[in-house]
Amino acid sequence: MLAQLSLFVILCAAGVFVSEATADADALSDGKKSARVCGSCHGPKGIARVESYPSLAGQSAQYLAKQLRAFRDGSRTDPQMSVLAKGLSDAEIVNISAWYASLSSCK
Ligand code: HEC
């Protein structure tokens, strides 16, 4: 456990965690803009400071988009997220997810 933790810290310090290189720059900047409202809970760079809010930085774009679609269609529910996801278009979901995936998960 401790060894894993120190490996993580070393990799983070060396900046080894790099973004998924699949999303283009326009998509990422659109995603960043659309995600402004999300930062109040998930942190401005996707690292949440409050235990009940998950961090989104560095999670897979595919996973994030799947969760957002699930909140939007009601197959996953949360009093806060269900309301927020209702207003997102397909493009916003893809771009926001790509932006969070591109961020470092290092605190
Ligand atoms: C008012 C606070 C709040 C705001 C604003 C908010 N979220 Fe959330 N979000 C939450 C909470 C709470 C959860 C955890 C829900 C649960 O426990 O199922 C969550 C969960 C998520 C998840 C699932 C994470 C996972 O690991 O499964 C995603 C993705 C997400 N939010 C994206 C967003 C996006 C994108 C926005 C902006 C459009 C946003 N959130 C705005 C509170 C918020």
Q: What is the pLDDT at residue 78? A: 98
Give, for ligand 1, the residue of 41, 60, 62 to mutate: max count of ligand atoms closer than 8 Å to Cβ: 41
Q: Is the pLDDT of residue 24 over 70?
A: yes
Predicted pLDDT at 14: 64
pLDDT at 9 over 70: no
CA 42 – ligand 1 centroid, Å: 7
Q: What is the pLDDT of residues 39-54, one digit of tens each?
A: 999 999 999 999 999 9
**pLDDT for 16:** 58
Residue with tokens 């990422």: 28
Tokens representing 97? 């997810």
Ligand 1 site, residue 51, Cβ cutoff 6 A = no
The pLDDT tens digits for 63-105 are 999 999 999 999 999 999 999 999 999 999 999 999 999 999 9
Which class for 42: exposed (0-12), middle (13-18), buried (19 or more C-beta within 10 A)?
buried
